[in-house]
Amino acid sequence: MTYVLRHSDHETRRLETQAAFYAEHTEWLLKTAGITAGMHVLDVGCGAGDVTIQLARIVGPTGSVVGVDADANVLEAARQRVDLANVTFRQATLPDVPLDHPVDAVVGRMILMHLPDPVTALRALSTVVRPGGVVTFQDMNTTRFRSVPALPLLTKCVTTLNDSLLAAGRALDTGERLHSLFLEAGLPGPELAVVAPTPHGEEKEAAVVMLGQTLLTALPFAEECGVVAPGEFDQDTLTDQLLDELRSTPCAVYLAEMVGAWTRVPGTEPAFARST
């Protein structure tokens, strides 16, 4: 598996910061898509468990959430953060789905963009959702992270990240391709909603720090595959350089657009007929 953003404690903290920027939209999406109390839900590519926590609150004590990730270390971090009776975590690499019984919903945020074949994964995942159950995913259009006016170092970080994703064979526009991906996977055309956080003040600085952390996480892969020369970014000072640049030029910062897509698996069956 080629995953550009390899796990580290640093990466877990970055995922938490990133999750905070998109949490409100995710909450709205999960509820609008039809996740309700008592449901049994699969959260794929759960990472450090940020979406898992939101799901656990929505489904409540009569429901359950299984968080699945390929990375044993990030799962360990998730287990340490999320100590809830209705949550379990399992290690599996998509498109393998570690369930032998149906769930009421499958959810994934920023996971399809990291898969070499998102359609096969979506198709496999939709087979574990009961008829009438919910399929909802969120993904980014990564080129849309930008400042206006364009700051040179910020722009270079975004370009390097996007070139790394391309070098790993990933698409940069998975968010806006979600509608097509659902159709190709045999699902009904999903409803869609998009958000592009535009942080202000301290949050703008936090967004730029997060960009620097993302770049540092991707740097080993970027150097290995020749996207950047070793030493092109100064790892020790990158975050400070980004902050200096931001503070010296008044600008607007737009985070990557996040597209949410949701639909239901065709057919009807009483809800909660099976449990996880």
Ligand X SMILES: C[S@@+](CC[C@H](N)C(=O)[O-])C[C@H]1O[C@@H](n2cnc3c(N)ncnc32)[C@H](O)[C@@H]1O
Binding site for ligand X (CB under 6 A): 1, 3, 15, 19, 45-47, 50-51, 69-71, 74, 93-94, 109-111, 114-115
Residue 3 Cβ vs ligand X, minimum distance, rounded to whole Å? 5
Distance CA 124, CA 106 (A): 11
* Residue whose CB is less far from ligand X, 187 or 210: 210
* Residue whose CB is less far from ligand X, 69 or 104: 69
* Residue whose CB is less far from ligand X, 128 or 251: 128
Distance CA 68, CA 47 (A): 8
Residue 45 Cβ vs ligand X, minimum distance, rounded to whole Å? 3
Backbone angles phi, psi at 168, to 5 degrees: -85, 5
Which value, in Å, is the radius of gyration of the alpha carbons in the chain? 19
Residue 225 Cβ vs ligand X, minimum distance, rounded to whole Å? 17
| Distance (Å) of CA 74 to CA 50, 67, 77, 78, 105 | 12, 11, 5, 6, 23
* Residue whose CB is less far from ligand X, 97 or 265: 97
Residue 36 Cβ vs ligand X, minimum distance, rounded to whole Å? 21
